[in-house]
Amino acid sequence: MLAKTCLSCGYRGPALQGPARALRCPGCGADLYARPPRSYAELEGFLPSEDTIDMHVAGSTGRGRRQRVRRARSFAFRVLVMGLIITPPLVVVAAAGALAAIWMLRG
Ligand SMILES: [Zn+2]
């Protein structure tokens, strides 16, 4: 799943793994600089490919950052809504408990 594979022929030998990779595919001779080998996880979008990471670093003040801010805001909003849904019953139970304790102390 993480083994780099030549996109032209499917070769996934040791020459394509690791940081110092071959520039030509040993299987078919394809130019791996122009079309870098990718792992299955990268192709399916489970992992960012190395090219994508470079693009994110280059444009970290642009769309990627704005998207992250929007996602964080959406998450904070959801946490707030969940808090508002969960908290009232707890307040009611606590108030009922306090009233019951006061009532028992009186009687
Ligand atoms: Zn190849």
Distance 24 CA to ligand 1 centre (A): 8
Our measurement of the distance from residue 52's CA atom to the centroid of its chain's CA atoms, rounded to an integer in Å, reads 14
The pLDDT of residue 57: 53
Confidence bin at 56 (pLDDT 50/70/90): low
Question: Is 0.85 surpassed by the pTM of this model?
Answer: no
Average pLDDT over the chain, rounded to an integer: 84
Per residue in 37-55, pLDDT (tens digit) is 999 888 888 888 766 555 5
Please report, as a single letter, which amino acid is at residue 74: S
Cα(36)–Cα(21) distance, integer angstroms: 9
Cα(94)–Cα(104) distance, integer angstroms: 15
Distance 21 CA to ligand 1 centre (A): 13
State the average pLDDT over residues 12-34. 89
